[in-house]
Amino acid sequence: HDTGHDAGHDTHEHGPERTAEAFREVFGHAPAGVWAAPGRVNLIGEHTDYNDGFVMPLALPHTCLAAVSPRSDGVLRVHSGDAPGGVVELRVADLAPFEAGGDRGGWAAYPAGVVWALAEAGLLPGSGGDRTAGADLHFESTVPTGAGLSSSAALEVVTATALNELYGLGIAPQRIAQLCQRAENAFVGVPCGIMDQTASACCTEGHALFLDARDLTQRQVPFDLAAEGLRLLVVDTQVKHELGDGAYANRRAACETAARALGVRALRDVPFEELDATLAELERLGCDAATRRRVRHVVTEDRRVEEVIERLDAGDTRSIGPVLTAGHASCRDDFEISCAELDLVVETANAAGALGARMTGGGFGGSAIVLVEEADAEAVSKSVTEAFGAAGHRAPRIFPAVPSAGARRL
Ligand code: GAF
Atom of ligand 1 nearest to the CA of 148: 12
State if residue 46 touches ligand 1 by the CB under 6 angstroms criterion: yes
pLDDT of residue 104: 63
Separation of alpha carbons 331 and 61, rounded Å: 26
Give start and end residues of each alpha helix (H) in 63-185: 109-120, 151-166, 173-182
DSSP letter, residue 389: H
Ranges of the chain whose pLDDT falls below 50: 1-8
pLDDT of residue 101: 56
pLDDT of residue 18: 95
| Contact status, residue 143 vs residue 64, Cβ threshold 8 Å | yes
State if residue 358 touches ligand 1 by the CB under 6 angstroms criterion: no
pLDDT of residue 244: 66
Atom of ligand 1 nearest to the CA of 46: 11
Separation of alpha carbons 8 and 30, rounded Å: 30
152 belongs to an annotated ligand binding site:
yes
Residue 225's φ and ψ, nearest 5 degrees, are: -70, -40
Respond yes or no: is residue 196 known to be catalytic.
yes
State if residue 362 touches ligand 1 by the CB under 6 angstroms criterion: yes
CA distances from 121 to 77, 183, 184, 273 (A): 21, 11, 15, 41
148 belongs to an annotated ligand binding site:
yes
pLDDT of residue 6: 43
Q: What is the DSSP string of 248-312?
A: HHHHHHHHHHHHHHHT-SSGGGS-GGGHHHHHHHHHHTT--HHHHHHHHHHHHHHHHHHHHHHHH
ipTM above 0.85, yes or no: yes
Task: Please report the beta strands in 43-133, taking only residues with DSSP state E, as ranges in sequence order.
Answer: 54-55, 57-71, 75-80, 88-91
State if residue 193 touches ligand 1 by the CB under 6 angstroms criterion: yes
| Contact status, residue 52 vs residue 186, Cβ threshold 8 Å | no
Q: Smallest Cα–Cα separation from 107: which of 158, 70, 57? A: 158
pLDDT of residue 2: 36
